[in-house]
């Protein structure tokens, strides 16, 4: 096979090898998202399979002699001449160079957002652990122990008492 079809099939095949489907599947949380993801993967694999089967093979050559016997040589020679004169233009990709810098910038932005998200996740996990620990100790904790962990609240209450403000 030659031309655009082969190139499309090759690109699709390479793209399918570089997709980390299992890695993406691990990040999905909800059942609805899992269903959508599996539908996307199935559709991608169907398209990729179609591209591989249809565009990866050379077309069968035309048996001009067979048609000459049934239609006559003059009309078949005319069709053959037109068929041979058809030139399929080469594909020139003008879109990728235009969008590649934008895509690369988005990738950098994505990495930064990923780092922020990971830091925020760590902070939230630590906060959750602290709250769970506090929840366990709350029934036996004294005010002094609580204020030791939260000195800003102790300062606030001390200021209110000092200023004779009792909340009403």
pLDDT tens by residue, 97-141: 888 889 889 999 999 999 999 999 999 999 999 889 888 888 888
pLDDT mean over 74-93: 87
Measure the CA–CA gap between 158 and 152, rounded to whole angstroms: 10
Residue linked to tokens 């999905």: 28
For the full predicted model, state whether its pTM sits above 0.85. Answer: no
Phi, psi of 142 (to 5 degrees): -90, 165
pLDDT, averaged across the chain: 83
State how far the Cα of 97 lies from the Cα of 109, in Å rounded to an integer. Answer: 19
Q: Taking the mean position of all CA atoms in its chain, how far away is CA 91?
A: 27
């Amino acid at each position: 096979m030659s031309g655009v079809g082969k190139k499309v099939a090759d690109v699709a095949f390479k793209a399918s090898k570089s997709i980390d489907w299992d890695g993406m599947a691990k990040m999905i949380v909800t059942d609805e998202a899992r269903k959508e993801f599996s539908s996307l993967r199935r559709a991608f694999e169907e398209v990729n399979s179609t591209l591989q089967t249809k565009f990866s093979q050379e077309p069968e050559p035309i048996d001009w002699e067979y048609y000459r016997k049934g239609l006559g040589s003059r009309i078949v020679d005319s069709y053959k001449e037109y068929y041979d004169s058809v030139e399929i233009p080469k594909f020139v990709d003008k879109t990728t160079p235009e969008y590649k810098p934008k895509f690369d910038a988005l990738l950098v932005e994505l990495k930064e957002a990923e780092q922020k998200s990971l830091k925020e996740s760590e902070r939230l996990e630590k906060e959750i652990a602290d709250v769970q620990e506090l929840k366990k100790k709350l029934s036996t904790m004294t005010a002094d122990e609580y204020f030791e962990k939260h000195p800003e609240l102790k300062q606030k209450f001390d200021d209110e008492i000092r200023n004779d403000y009792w909340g009403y």
